[in-house]
Structure 1
Amino acid sequence: MQTTIDQYQAVIRAAAESKTPLRIRGGGTKDFYGNPAAEQNSTLLDMTDYNGIVDYEPTELVITARAGTRLADLEVELDRHGQMLAFEPPHFGSAATLGGCVAAGLSGPRRAAAGSVRDFVLGVRLLDGKGEDLHFGGQVMKNVAGYDVSRLMAGSMGTLGVLLEVSLKVLPKPAIETTLCMAMDEAAAIEKMNQWAGKPLPVSATCFADGQLFVRLSGAEPAVRAAQVKLGGETLVDDMVFWRSVREHTHGFFQPDKPLWRLSIKSTTPSLLLAGRQLLEWNGGLRWLSTDDGEDAEAIRAAAKEAGGHATLFRHNKSGISVFHPLPSGMMKIHRALKEKFDPSGILNPGRLYSEI
C-alpha cells in the first residue's frame, strides 16, 4: 500500500506545482452533496484503491481502516462481532467509502442519541496539500494535547487533506430494537419527542412525517419492553426497512426531482411555516424540507437562523447558490487560515465547501 501512497503524493505535488485543482473522490455516492467540484482543468484523485482494515480489536471498541474501504464491508466486519458504527452513516449507494463518510460528516437517525461522526473519530492519517504524510490523534479517546485536528476533518469535504486512514470508536449493537408508530400532528410530535428526550428512556431514533411519529427503542430487553408499555402506540413491522429508507433517502418523502433542504435547528422550535413538505428527525433538531424549484433560499435560511441553526441545500442545487449556510466574516477568516495551513496552493477540492476556500 505504500506504493499507492507514493503515487498519491506524486499527484499532489505535481498539482501543487502547476496549481491544478484536485477532485478527491471515493465511491462517488455523495457527488451530489456540497458545491460542485471543478471538473475542467482539474485532476481526479481516486481513493478506492487504498482500502482494507488496518487494525481492529473488538474488545477495545476501535477500528482503523483505509479511506477507500467500502462502508458496507466495514459494517459487515463489525456485525460479525456484534458491533456497529453508532452514528449510523448514510451510504447513498453500495460504493460508499469510509473516507467519503468522514469527509461529508453526515450521520443518520441514531445521531441524536449516540452522537455525530465527528464524535467517534479518534485519529486520522492524511496527505496535506504539499503531499506530506501526517498523523493526528490515535486510537483512544483521551489522546489529544492541543487542537484535535483529526475531528476537524469530519465534514471538511476534502478541502483540508486527502484522508488515508481513519480510526473510529465503535459500539456494541443493542440487544433488541423495536419501533413504535403513533398518529398525531406536528406540534404534538415535537412536544412528545423533546419530552421523551429528557427522560431515561431507550429512545435511539425519532421521525415524524405525514401525521405519523415513529420512535425507535434500543437496548436491553427489559428497558425496551418497559418503555414500549409506557409510550404506547403500534409496533411497526419491518422497522429495519423503515429506518434504512429514512437514512438512505429512499423513503417516499425524499423526491429526487425536487430541491431538498436540511435544516439543523433547536429541537424545541415550533412548526416552521415554510412552503413545501417536511420530515423531522433527531427529536425535531433536524428538519428536511422538500420544496419546488425557485423557493426563496434567503427566507429558508432566515427561518433556520431564527431557530438557532442553519440551512443546507442538500440536494438538487440548480440555482447556483451556495450549498452551505454562509459563515460570519470571523468564522470565514478561520476557515481560510486553516485552508492556507493545510493546503497552501489551494488545490484540494477547491470551492467544494465554500467558494472562498
Structure 2
Amino acid sequence: MKLRKRIVPAALALSVLSAGLVTFSEPLNADAAGQKVVAAANNEQVARITKVKPINTMTLQVTFTQPLAAADIDPNNLEAIKKDFNFNGNLEIVNVPRLMTDSTSTYIVPVTFQEDDFVYRLSYKEQRNRVFEGTDEKVLVRNVTQVTDDTFTLESFQEDGVVDYANIIEAYRGGRGDHAFSINRQNRDASGKRFDVISSLRDRYVTVKTSEGEEFVANYVPFTQAADGKQAPQFRLPAGQTLKQGVTYRVYSQWAEIDEKSFVANKKAPFTLQSANAIDSQSFELQLTNDPQSDLLAGRSVELRGNDGSTLQAQYRYSSRKGAVGIFDIANGGTLKAGVSYTVMPLNNWATATNVVLQGK
C-alpha cells in the first residue's frame, strides 16, 4: 500500500513564515474555513467502523466507535441504509444492523453471500475502507420438516452451537423472554460456549430437488425464523404448488449446512376456517377450528367476496396469532363497508371454509 502524502496549506504557510520567507497568496476565505470546521465536527458525529468480523457467509459482526443513530437502524429506512454500506465484490447488506445484547456499538449485519478468502473493502458513509477476508462458512441446520402441503422448516438448535439472532439482539430482547441472552464479541455466552449466528433471513431461499428429477426454489416466509420460541424458519413452495405425497425432497442452501436434508412428503390436511369477526374497517380476526401450535398462518391470504359484488384481499398480520386466532389486514388500501357481508375464501388452498362470513363495520 502506498503512503499518500498530504500538504496542509496552513502548516506550509507557518513553516515558510518561520523561515523568514514571506509569500503573499489569496486572502483567507472565512466562509470556507467555517465550512471546514463544521464538516470536521459533523464527521466526528458519524459512527466509524473499528472492526469487521465475518461470522459466516451471510453474517458480519461490525463494531463502531459509537452507537448508530436511530434512523440508521430503522427498518423503514432500509434502502437508504443499504447505500451507507459500500462494499466491493458485489456484496451488500440485506437488512438493517442490529445491536447485540449488552453491547454498546457492536452489530449483527446480514449480507449477501461472501466468497471464501476474497478480500473485501467496506466503507461506511463514505469513510475510510475497512478490509476483511470473506468466508463461505455455512450455518449448521439439523433437519428439514414438512409442516403443511406447501411449507417446510429448517430447524437448528442452540445445543448444536447455533443461535438465531433474534435471541441475542437488543431490539427483540423484551419479547424473547427466557430465550434472550447475550454473547460477546468472540461469540461466546457467559459459560464460554461459542455460537454461530443465523442473521436475518429476509429474501433468503433454498433449492429443492425431488426424486422425480424436478428442481425449484422455496422462499423464506417472513417473520418465522424465531417464532414460537423455535429456531425453525419456514420455506414455502411457489404459489399454487404443493408437495407430492410419497416423493422424496432434498433441500440445499448456500447459507446452511443441512445435516438431514431429505424428507418424504406426506399428505397434510389443510386448515379449516371457523369464523371471522371484524376489529375495525381495515382488519379482522380469523379463527381456525384447531390451534396450529406454531405460526403457520404466516404469509397466508384470503379473498373477501361482498354481497354487494365487491372483492377485497386480506393478509395475515405477522406474529399476531393467539392460539387458533390470527389477525388479517385488508390489503391495497381497501376497507370493509358497514352493512356488507363478506364470504371468506382462502387463497391457494391453504385452508377450507364453509359459509364463513365476515360482517363489515
TM-score normalised over the length of structure 2: 0.27
Q: Max radius of gyration: which structure?
A: 2
| Higher fraction of helix | 1
| Higher fraction of strand | 2
TM-score normalised over the length of structure 1: 0.27
